[in-house]
Amino acid sequence: MKAASALLEPQRTDSSARRLLLVGAGAGPLFVVSSVAQAVLRSGFDPRKHPPSALALGDAGWVQSGTFIVSGLFFVIGAVGLRRSLPPAETRWAPRGIGIFGVALAAGGIFVMDPAFGFPPGTPAGVGDEVSWHAATHGVLFPLGFATILGTCFVMANRYARQGRRLARWTSMIAGPVALVLASWPNLGGEPDGRFLPMWAGVVIAFGWLSAVLADAARNPTLNQPRELRPEGSTAP
């Protein structure tokens, strides 16, 4: 009885926890919409040739830097809300993973990449012979962030499996590896035309999945408990 009570206790999720989750859920759409809008509006920018991080370069680069920072902070806020909504007996790795990713994303807006791939206009094609310290830091943050997403996907897939949510489980198991491969595509060899388009797709998948997880937790907190402890009639995919 005590174990069951401990698991049920967090389902009295207060409104502040839901607000935190909803703020976090907005991070993905914010980043994607802002990045796509800038990709369309920025002179000389081509998403086939340039990564999202390149938008932080040039006179208007502050917009993308701010997008990185605000979106990252939103994910951290969402991670706090997710932690509050989980039963005490459940693992804390999912909110930790989302929180680490949020910190890495925000830091990516501070430590920007070097001008490269012909952007901003006038920059030589390809990358320079030397890499600045801030670009090197940015280069480390990128794989760190996507590695935490991959781990979080499998943690959440395991939780969804225990809850009997097969669609959510398989979506999580697929989203992480696919997003990682697509985001890493430009580094897998060669410089074909459109080499950065898969990276953009990977970002959309990863950020969309993270936001969906947080929105789902805010929408129906009873789904945070195992299937056998949910109120009768509570179902989900």
Tell me, what amino acid is at 97?
G
Query: Are 22 and 215 a contacting pair, CB within 8 Å?
Result: yes
Residue 69: the pLDDT is 98
Cis bond before residue 120 (omega within 30° of 0): yes
Residue 194: the pLDDT is 63
Tell me, what amino acid is at 113?
M
Residues forming a β-bridge with 119: 116
The pTM score is 0.85
Domain assignment present for 10: no
Low-confidence ranges of the chain (pLDDT < 50): 1-12, 226-235
Domain assignment present for 196: yes
Domain assignment present for 236: no
Residue 195: the pLDDT is 81
**Number of residues assigned to the chain:** 237
CA distance 202 to 196: 10
pLDDT by residue (tens digit) across 75-107? 999 999 999 888 766 668 899 999 999 999 999
Cis bond before residue 88 (omega within 30° of 0): no
CA distances from 228 to 4, 164, 231 (A): 10, 9, 9
Number of folded domains that form the chain: 1
Residue 15: the pLDDT is 81
**Comparing C-alpha atoms, which of 35, 158, 153, 146 is closest to residue 100?**
146
Domain assignment present for 123: no
**Comparing C-alpha atoms, which of 87, 9, 27, 23 is closest to residue 218?**
23
Domain assignment present for 231: no
pLDDT by residue (tens digit) across 31-62? 999 999 999 999 999 999 999 999 999 999 99
Residue 228: the pLDDT is 46
Tell me, what amino acid is at 83?
R
Three-state SS at 96: helix
CA distance 100 to 144: 9
Residue 52: the pLDDT is 95
Three-state SS at 47: coil
Domain assignment present for 5: no
For residue 212, how many C-alpha atoms fall within 13 Å in the half-sphere facing its CB?
15
In terms of residue numbers, what domain contains 71?
A: 15-118+134-226
Region of 122 (left: φ > 0; alpha: ψ -120 to 50; beta: rest) is left
Domain assignment present for 128: no
Residue in the structure block whose two tokens are 């989750």: 21
In whole angstroms, what separates CA 173 from the centre of its chain? 15
Residue in the structure block whose two tokens are 């995919």: 237
CA distance 227 to 60: 49
Residue in the structure block whose two tokens are 């920007």: 112
Domain assignment present for 206: yes
